[in-house]
Amino acid sequence: MSVLHYLGAVLVLGVIVAVGVWSGRQVRSHDDYTGRARRANPAMVAGALLGTIVGGASTIGTAQLAYTNGLSAWWFTIGCATGLLLYGTVLLKPIYHSGATTVPGLIGGEFGPHASRAGAMLASIGTFLSVVAQLLAAVALITAVSDLTDAPALALMVALVVVYVVFGGALGAGYVGIVKTVLLSLTVVGCGFLALGDVGGFSGLLDNPALPHETYFNFNSRGFGLDTGAAISLVLGVVTEQAYFQALLSARSAKVSRIGALGAGAIVPVIGALGVLVGMSMRITHPSIESRLALPLFIKEHLPALPAGIALAALLVVLVGSASGLSLGIATVVVRDLLPKRWLKEKDARQLLISRVTLLAVLLVAAAICLLDMGGLILSWSFLSMGLRGAVAFWPAMAALFWRGHVNPKFVVPAMISAPLTTALGAWFGPADIDPVWFGVASSFVIMAAGALARKRQRHHDS
């Protein structure tokens, strides 16, 4: 790393810190912090969504999996985009007018407080696993371009997240997300074209013996059940994730929110495709590196020093933003759905303090877990995270939106509890080529369907 590398990085980080501090000054209440004040415009909504989705998994993690498995790495961003398109075309209007501020709150409004608390606890565990993925990706980036070892790199990442979101919350995530989106778009477009040129274009990729077609040009190279299950995990995870729910509800109208969701949904798969190109080209030119280093090493070695420093800092900010958005989602769920209401009644300052302390606690626990799995596959954590929270909340949330009054509430908590249990059993004892999320989604659906049948029988009996 030369002086110009560090100069580019300092320029970007200076801009981001300035925007973060400025946006933090706009936070005048807990509603501003969580987005409930509904002040965001379309660019801010799209920025907040992209700031969370386009993180370690869709950049460093995608390039890492593309390095080892090729096109199947694209499923992550395709699944995310599909979830955003569902929001923009089907789900947004009923969600926006539901009056709920959290996914567990939406479920609890239909099925009662026990369902809300169970959903909050179980879905937050899934979201927490995504925070771990972002921290792992950040460690890969920082150690690839500096002399820092894993633990100091992890400490630096946690500190950056605290500066970024503890002061700005959802409002800050939207403002900084716009800046990040511009920087990241320039970075991935440049890297994608450079990667293609490095290997002789698309024909160079297709004809290179280092990329066997049955693996690198097969969307289901890890197995049809595993890769399609991963895609389903992403769709369900996006439409039930508190961070995305929160970003969409921060808009000043449903129309504004829809424009932001559709815009973000159009950008995400393009970023994923370019990450795939980088990973596959690095497999050709650097066949013996650690897979997690594919993207950061490409930037460091293929871009001029000043643009490389800007790109690496932009990527770090993306990781910070994604970890921040997910952690903020967990903190919001804890405050809104898990803490006793008497702690918060007419105490806006207390809510703001508890949200910030909770977010810091989430980061510290996630960092401790990262220290135990520094070499882990980043997308594995992300797929597991999305699958778990999607399996827990998807069917109860859809019933709360579109099938009100048709499911016996007594069946909802068992449906949510069964999802992670059957997912875990599927992971331990199920076929290796089938994503265990299929088992969790299926068990939740069966129990919810039984609840619908019970409600129908009860009404027939009462009549």
pLDDT in tens, 188-220: 888 888 998 888 888 888 889 889 988 999 988
The mean pLDDT value for 47-70 works out to 83
Q: What is the dihedral of CA 287, 288, 293, 299, to 10 degrees?
A: -50
Note the pLDDT tens digit of each residue in 429-442.
878 778 888 888 89
Task: Say what the pLDDT of residue 170 is.
Answer: 43
Asked whether 377 and 279 are in contact (CB, 8 A), the reply is no
The answer, yes or no, to whether residue 176 has pLDDT greater than 70, is no
Q: What single DSSP character describes residue 2?
A: -
Which range is least confidently modeled, 45-54, 66-75, 263-272, 304-313? 45-54
Task: Say what the pLDDT of residue 374 is.
Answer: 66
Query: Which amino acid, 400?
Result: A
Of 300 and 172, the one with more pLDDT: 300
Round to whole Å and give the CA distance between 222 and 225.
Answer: 8
The answer, yes or no, to whether residue 30 has pLDDT greater than 60, is no
The mean pLDDT value for 244-254 works out to 81
Tokens coding 243: 């961070």
Task: Say what the pLDDT of residue 164 is.
Answer: 67
Strand partners for 251: 40
The mean pLDDT value for 238-252 works out to 81
The answer, yes or no, to whether residue 48 has pLDDT greater than 50, is yes
Round to whole Å and give the CA distance between 373 and 145.
Answer: 20
Percent of the chain exceeding pLDDT 90 equals: 15
Q: How far is CA 189 from the centre of its chain?
A: 21
Query: Which amino acid, 308?
Result: A
Which range is least confidently modeled, 54-58, 147-151, 282-286, 444-448? 54-58
Q: What single DSSP character describes residue 28?
A: -
The mean pLDDT value for 97-124 works out to 84
Nearest to 400 by CA among 127, 91, 120, 117: 91
Of 385 and 236, the one with more pLDDT: 236
Tokens coding 39: 């002040």
Task: Say what the pLDDT of residue 262 is.
Answer: 92
- The dihedral through the CA atoms of 271, 277, 282, 287 has a sign that is positive
Q: What single DSSP character describes residue 147?
A: S
Backbone angles phi, psi at 40, to 5 degrees: -80, 145
Confidence tier at 283 by pLDDT (50, 70, 90): very high
Task: Say what the pLDDT of residue 395 is.
Answer: 92
Q: What single DSSP character describes residue 420?
A: H
Pick the CATH number of 3-379 from 3.30.70.2190, 2.30.31.20, 1.10.1840.10, 1.20.1730.10: 1.20.1730.10
Confidence tier at 377 by pLDDT (50, 70, 90): low
The answer, yes or no, to whether residue 133 has pLDDT greater than 80, is yes
Nearest to 375 by CA among 282, 293, 272: 293
Of 324 and 369, the one with more pLDDT: 369
The mean pLDDT value for 370-386 works out to 74
Neighbours of 88 (CB within 10 A): 21
Round to whole Å and give the CA distance between 135 and 162.
Answer: 13
Q: What share of the chain is helix, strand, coil (3-state, %, to 5)?
A: 80, 0, 15
Task: Say what the pLDDT of residue 240 is.
Answer: 85
Which range is least confidently modeled, 54-68, 87-101, 305-319, 346-360? 346-360
The mean pLDDT value for 167-183 works out to 59
- Checking phi first, is residue 102 left (phi over 0); if not, alpha (psi -120 to 50) or beta? beta
Identify the residue whose tokens are 């190109």: 277
Beta strands in 25-145 (DSSP E): none
Rg of the chain in Å (alpha carbons): 22
Which range is least confidently modeled, 18-27, 69-78, 168-177, 273-282? 168-177
Neighbours of 133 (CB within 10 A): 31
Identify the residue whose tokens are 């990781």: 319
The answer, yes or no, to whether residue 33 has pLDDT greater than 50, is no
Estimate the crossing angle of helix 305-333 against helix 3-25, to 10 degrees.
30
Per-chain mean pLDDT for the chain: 81
Confidence tier at 35 by pLDDT (50, 70, 90): very low
Domain residues of the chain, as ranges? 3-379
Buried b (16+ CB within 10 A) or exposed e, 101-116: bbbbbbbbbbbeeebb
Task: Say what the pLDDT of residue 340 is.
Answer: 62
